[in-house]
Amino acid sequence: MKFFKQQNKIVKNILWLFFDKILRMSLGVLVSIYLAKYLGPTEYGELSFCVSFLYFFLVVSMLGMEPILVREITKSPSKTDEIISTSIVLRICSGFILFVVSVLTAFYLYGLSKFFFILIISFQLFFQAGDVFGSLFLAKVKSKYVVISKNVGFIISSILKLILIFLNVSLLTFAYAILIEFFIALLLLIYFFNKSEVEFKFSYFDTSLAKELLISSSPLILSSIFYVVYTKLDQVMIEFLSDSEQVGYYAVANKLSEVWFFIPTVVVNSFYSEIVALKNTNYKKFKDRILELMTLLSFLSVILILGFSLFSEVIITFLYGQEYASSVPIFNVHIWSCLIVFSAVVSGVWYVATDLQKYTFYRTGVGALVNVSLNFALIPLYGGLGAAYATLGAKILASYLMNLMNKKTREVFFLQTEGYINIFKIYPVILFSKRMIYNLKKQAND
């Protein structure tokens, strides 16, 4: 009975996280459409740039701690008070330091033009300390508190943005709407935390524990920086090497193509435990499952790519207006990233199952370096379109070709390649689709 209760708890936890992704995806796209149409390409580009600029500092301020905190709280529940208190102090300190750095950097590089917007949204760096409470709830398999807190803030912020559009306010006012999302999330996380049995006190701060946490999370901090450079720095570089209007065009194309990135995660999570278990019991079946997933997700990505590429001009001009027509060629290039990203999620499972996850760090680092290099070369020539080509090229190299260059990862390269080839063979797709439906029905019955 206890086992079934625990399983039910885990399933509910997953459903809450899935709900979070769907809500943020759908409402986020809807609000971005109205916001982009209201502001126009230049001002929407300025807003997107400021958010991307701050994102780098936000990720660094998190100190890569979430997985470490979840692990430590689960491993040593008796030390939860000390772990939480020490982590919050560390996050407050990192938030303050990075707040100063972000604001001074913005003023030095961009003067007053974007300084006040970045100054306002930079207060997120203090509010994000509340994510430590979120790590506690994740460790206790109580994700609903995190989802509720963050989505209430997200919904209120989204409604406020729509109201501000109706009121015809200036660009700077939207900075407060962005900030309020994180402030409300912080208040709710504190509320739920106060109802728990865990206690936070500054006196619980433990210097030796702080050192242990920082040492444990240091590789994750570096990995997070690589990830931000790899995936988010493009809009900052477009602003630096081109102009805000190009950022606006790119932001629209990027939003519409990346909105589908949740699909492979949802599909892979349905088979994750089975695939990892097969690695040690039946390696041939393990490879077969990986290949089947590669084939299915590659097929789905091509359907998405071709479908949206054919009607991209109609979709973008209908949703965002004729003034965003320049986003169409950018989108038509950027959407091809789906093909690489979808199979890369499956290769990530292979990395974990074969205990080679450290190579994900290497490929993210290479992807970041290549992306920055290509951006410097292509953005001055082609603007946002150059950034789209840079992103696609970096993903192809880092998430696909790099697997060929290392003997230990060459197997997954061939599995990816076979998955791409199988796109032209409809039978493997039908076969795996049937197996997927069977698995989902079996999980529901169990």
| DSSP code string of 214-273 | HHHHHHHHHHHHHHHHHHTHHHHHHHHHS-HHHHHHHHHHHHHHHGGGHHHHHHHHHHHH
Whether residue 249 is contained in a domain is answered as no
Q: Are residues 188 and 274 in the same domain?
A: no
The two structure tokens encoding residue 35: 């916001």
Whether residue 440 is contained in a domain is answered as yes
Q: Are residues 42 and 177 in the same domain?
A: yes
For the chain, percent of residues with pLDDT exceeding 90: 46
> What's the domain count of the chain?
2
Whether residue 238 is contained in a domain is answered as no
Whether residue 107 is contained in a domain is answered as yes
What pLDDT, on a 0 to 100 scale, did the predictor assign at position 8? 55
Mean pLDDT of 254-265: 86
Q: Are residues 355 and 391 in the same domain?
A: yes
Mean pLDDT of 227-239: 86
Mean pLDDT of 242-268: 89
Whether residue 242 is contained in a domain is answered as no
Longest CA span, the chain: 64
Q: Which residue has the higher pLDDT, 182 or 6?
A: 182
Mean pLDDT of 155-165: 96
What distance in Å separates the CA atoms of residue 54 and residue 124, rounded to the nearest whole number?
A: 9
What pLDDT, on a 0 to 100 scale, did the predictor assign at position 12? 60
What pLDDT, on a 0 to 100 scale, did the predictor assign at position 6? 46
Q: Which residue has the higher pLDDT, 416 or 4?
A: 416
Q: Are residues 222 and 266 in the same domain?
A: no
The two structure tokens encoding residue 144: 């609903």
Length, in residues, of the chain: 446
**Cα angle at 353 between 351 and 357, to 5 degrees?**
35
Domain end residue (candidates: 197, 231, 265) = 231
Q: Are residues 205 and 268 in the same domain?
A: no
Q: Which of 10-19, 109-118, 314-323 has the highest mean pLDDT?
A: 314-323
Whether residue 264 is contained in a domain is answered as yes
Whether residue 327 is contained in a domain is answered as yes
Q: What is the DSSP letter of 401?
A: I
Closest CA to 67 of 224, 208, 279, 175: 224
Which tens digit of pLDDT belongs to each residue from 90-122?
A: 999 999 999 999 999 999 888 777 899 999 999
The mean pLDDT value of the chain amounts to 85
Q: Measure Cα distances from 198 to 78, 136, 151, 195, 266 in Å.
A: 10, 9, 23, 9, 32
Q: What is the DSSP string of 272-321?
A: HHHHHHHHHH-HHHHHHHHHHHHHHHHHHHHHHHHHHHHTHHHHHHHHH-
- Model-level pTM? 0.84
What distance in Å separates the CA atoms of residue 387 and residue 398, rounded to the nearest whole number?
A: 16
Q: Are residues 193 and 94 in the same domain?
A: yes
Q: Are residues 226 and 258 in the same domain?
A: no
Q: Which residue has the higher pLDDT, 121 or 278?
A: 121
Q: Which residue has the higher pLDDT, 348 or 378?
A: 378
Domain hosting residue 371, numbered range: 254-445
What distance in Å separates the CA atoms of residue 243 and residue 250, rounded to the nearest whole number?
A: 11
What pLDDT, on a 0 to 100 scale, did the predictor assign at position 442? 54
Which tens digit of pLDDT belongs to each residue from 74-90?
A: 777 778 888 888 988 99
What distance in Å separates the CA atoms of residue 271 and residue 112, rounded to the nearest whole number?
A: 51
Q: Are residues 114 and 224 in the same domain?
A: yes
Which tens digit of pLDDT belongs to each residue from 392-414?
A: 999 999 999 999 998 999 999 99
Judged by average pLDDT, the poorest of 216-225, 266-275, 291-300 is 266-275
Residue 226 clears pLDDT 90, i.e. is over it: no
Mean pLDDT of 305-316: 92
The two structure tokens encoding residue 412: 């997954």
What pLDDT, on a 0 to 100 scale, did the predictor assign at position 168? 94
